[in-house]
Chain A
Amino acid sequence: MRFQLIGVNHKSAPLEVRERLAIPESRLPDTCRDLTAYPGIEEAMVISTCNRVEVVTHTANGHADLRGFLHEHFHLKPEELDPHLYEFREKDAVRHVFRVASSLDSMVVGEAQILGQVKEAYATARAVGAVRGQLDQLFSRAFAVAKRVRTETAVGSSSVSIASVAVELAKKIFGSLHGKNVFIVGAGKMSELAARHLMAHGCASIFVANRTYERAIGLAQKFNGQAIKFEDLYATCDRADIVITSTGAPHAIFRREHGEQFLARRKNRPMFFIDIAVPRDVSPDMAKLDGIFTYDIDDLQQAVTSHVADRRKEAEHAEAIIASEVEKFEARAATLDVVPTIVSLQDHLETIRQAEIDRVRGRLGQMTPEQEIAVEALTRGIINKVMHTPITTLKSAAKESEATTVVDVVRRLFNLQVKGKDDQAELAAKKDEVGTRQ
């Protein structure tokens, strides 16, 4: 498990630095190739988003000069770059990758975009052959962990923009928004955005009232809605279930008496006022009426903030999941580390066995098929018995810190050759075989 990771993110580096490090999508394959050609790097992958640039590698000895690579590649002086860099190795690198994929390291914790971006980066690096056995396993696991975090915690559940909070609130009041009518009072950008969100969630029709009637017509046309003259506002407003208001009026335009009128005409069916005007368009005493719900810009903002806070709380739960997943990954990777040795050992002894049988066969002369089978069984039995203890020891040592020492001793004792990195995939496949045989 010789993972090494280096990078910058929104917390470690200002935008100016991140901008200089950003790698356009078209250049990612080349960068991956450059990385794998760099001394000491076996596999590499680059994650480059607007909030982070990270190089994830699997190295030959765990000490590749990733900083040097960045300096060269981006033509940056160490003093410009190094203060903003973070670097993780082995277990810490695994944890960081898991956190990034699970969106715990994001600016808005829980946002879903990052997982897609990591998956893209992975696909790009894989396509150019920069990601093989080790990084492949790391990222396959990271995607599984991200999924687990998403399903087992509510870290990505709440929305975080004013428009989406407005939609969520409307859904809490009306359930489905299908067939609901929206009234925009004062044609502003923000109310247009909120209206667009509401329409996307199934609202049926839209009314627009504005002091300048022409602007109302213009906005209404955008939504296939109906423009209403401002003086008809109070007569028609009760037709809407959701009112988004953002006029520049110095005083409240919706007061308690209006609310009472609306409710009477609507037979008390609830109404939701989204007041994004400053100063407010809806007088605070409107909220005292049963069936009228008003949210001003501060309330919406507070809901947004609390969602972010909720996500942070859930993130703690997510961190616990990640910690346990890192442990599991480490244990698995360690087992994988001893597999090449076990396979070499088995191959070595099998060669000796075959050679000995061939040698003895000349002396014994022609054997009957039964005798052949008996000799095979006898020699195999001896080999298996002899190998049982070393293999068990290797496997149990894999879970401990002494793994490397034990592996070294076994290799020296039996004079085993270390397999090249191209054989990694084959070895991984043999892992199951080893497990079955034992």
Chain B
Amino acid sequence: MSLLWLRFALGCYFIGLVYAFVALRRTSDLFARIALHAASLGMVFHFVSLVEVFLSGQFVWASVHNGESLLAFISMTFFMVIYAIYQTTSPGVVVFPVVFFLTFVAAVDQQPVLLTAFVQRRGWLIAHIILIFTGYAALVLSFGASLLYLLQERRLKSKKPTSLISFLPALEVIDQIGYRSLLLGFPFMTLGLLTGSVVALTTYGRVNFLDPKILLSVLMWAVYMIMVFTRWNSGWRGRRAAILASFAFVAALAAWAANYFSTIHRFAS
């Protein structure tokens, strides 16, 4: 049943996906409003789906697909918070495709790979999942903002006539969205990794730093830290920030993909 709700949500997010492509070409307030409503409706379905998973009793939260679904939901929540503060749907250009992709993967079928290993500290595991996903969602948003920043900067520098009519918010607003997401996401990511380490330690008795999942996670965290530091220390923006953000994003993707071949984080013993 939860899968059905998720597929409904996917349908709604599809409208968001179409918006993301259209918005890059031309401005349409009406379409932005439609996409926003569709995304809100999608979130309702999505929430129902997540609650059903949670209430199903079995601890299936740690399946990769449910994780993707949760990540998509948190990303959408971030998007909505930004909309509430800045009244802009433009981060949707990046967030909608990512959310659609994650939901799509999650909605394909029931996840066969389940966490069957005996986990001693279930509370820590739940904390780990939620913290790290919030960190991921913030990273997605920050990455999106840095791309939008580049786009807007290029438009302004090109001095082309169309540069004044654009769906993008002001450069500083995009910058603020990116920076605030970054600042918010960093502690979540750090705490998420720490709780993950605690779970790993109690389950396996040690943390194997050579495991691809852990290695990539640490790498991602390091890039994340460099981003926060360069921004705080010398106000890196624009191209340099975008390069770093892309790097962190790729590292995050790699760390996520490592779920499929990590021995520790396989969700299976």
Which residues in A have their C-beta under 8 angstroms from that of B163? 172
Determine whether A249 belongs to the interface, using a CB cutoff of 8 Å to chain B.
no
Which residues in B have their C-beta under 8 angstroms from that of A268? 234-238
Contact string, B236-251, partner A, CB cutoff 8 A, digits 1/0? 1111100000000000
Bound together, the chains give a CA A114 to CA B170 distance in angstroms of 31
Which of the 9-residue segments A137-145, A290-298, A361-369, A417-425 touches chain B? A290-298
Interface residues of A in 254-302 (CB under 8 A from B): 264, 266-270, 287, 290-291, 293, 295, 299, 302
Bound together, the chains give a CA A267 to CA B234 distance in angstroms of 5
Instruction: Please state if B157 and A267 are interface contacts (CB–CB under 8 Å).
Output: no
Bound together, the chains give a CA A306 to CA B161 distance in angstroms of 5
Which residues in B have their C-beta under 8 angstroms from that of A293? 156-157
Interface residues of B in 138-166 (CB under 8 A from A): 152-153, 156-157, 159, 161-166
Instruction: Please state if A269 and B164 are interface contacts (CB–CB under 8 Å).
Output: no
Bound together, the chains give a CA A268 to CA B235 distance in angstroms of 5
Which residues in B have their C-beta under 8 angstroms from that of A290? 153, 237-240
Instruction: Please state if B235 and A266 are interface contacts (CB–CB under 8 Å).
Output: yes
Of B152, B169, B237, the contact of A291 (CB 8 Å cutoff): B237
Which residues in A have their C-beta under 8 angstroms from that of B173? 175
Determine whether A158 belongs to the interface, using a CB cutoff of 8 Å to chain B.
yes
Determine whether B172 belongs to the interface, using a CB cutoff of 8 Å to chain A.
yes
Determine whether A171 belongs to the interface, using a CB cutoff of 8 Å to chain B.
yes
Residues A172 and B171 in contact in the complex (CB < 8 Å), given A290-B153, A303-B164, A307-B164: yes
Bound together, the chains give a CA A293 to CA B156 distance in angstroms of 7
Question: How many residues from B make CB contacts under 8 Å with A?
Answer: 23
A303's closest neighbor in chain B, by CB?
A: B164
B236's closest neighbor in chain A, by CB?
A: A268
Of B152, B157, B161, the contact of A287 (CB 8 Å cutoff): B157
Contact string, A299-336, partner B, CB cutoff 8 A, digits 1/0? 10011011101100000000000000000000000000
Contact string, B163-191, partner A, CB cutoff 8 A, digits 1/0? 11110011111000000000000000000
Determine whether A428 belongs to the interface, using a CB cutoff of 8 Å to chain B.
no
Interface residues of A in 136-188 (CB under 8 A from B): 154, 158, 165, 168-169, 171-176
Bound together, the chains give a CA A23 to CA B163 distance in angstroms of 42
Instruction: Please state if B161 and A270 are interface contacts (CB–CB under 8 Å).
Output: no
Bound together, the chains give a CA A307 to CA B153 distance in angstroms of 20
Bound together, the chains give a CA A174 to CA B176 distance in angstroms of 11
Which residues in A have their C-beta under 8 angstroms from that of B156? 169, 172-173, 293
Residues A175 and B170 in contact in the complex (CB < 8 Å), given A267-B235, A268-B237, A290-B237: yes
Instruction: Please state if A158 and B172 are interface contacts (CB–CB under 8 Å).
Output: no
- Residue pairs across A and B with Cβ atoms less than 8 A apart, 23 shown, are A158-B165, A165-B164, A169-B164, A172-B166, A172-B170, A174-B170, A175-B173, A176-B170, A264-B234, A267-B234, A268-B234, A268-B235, A268-B236, A269-B235, A291-B237, A291-B238, A293-B156, A299-B159, A302-B161, A303-B159, A303-B161, A306-B161, A307-B164
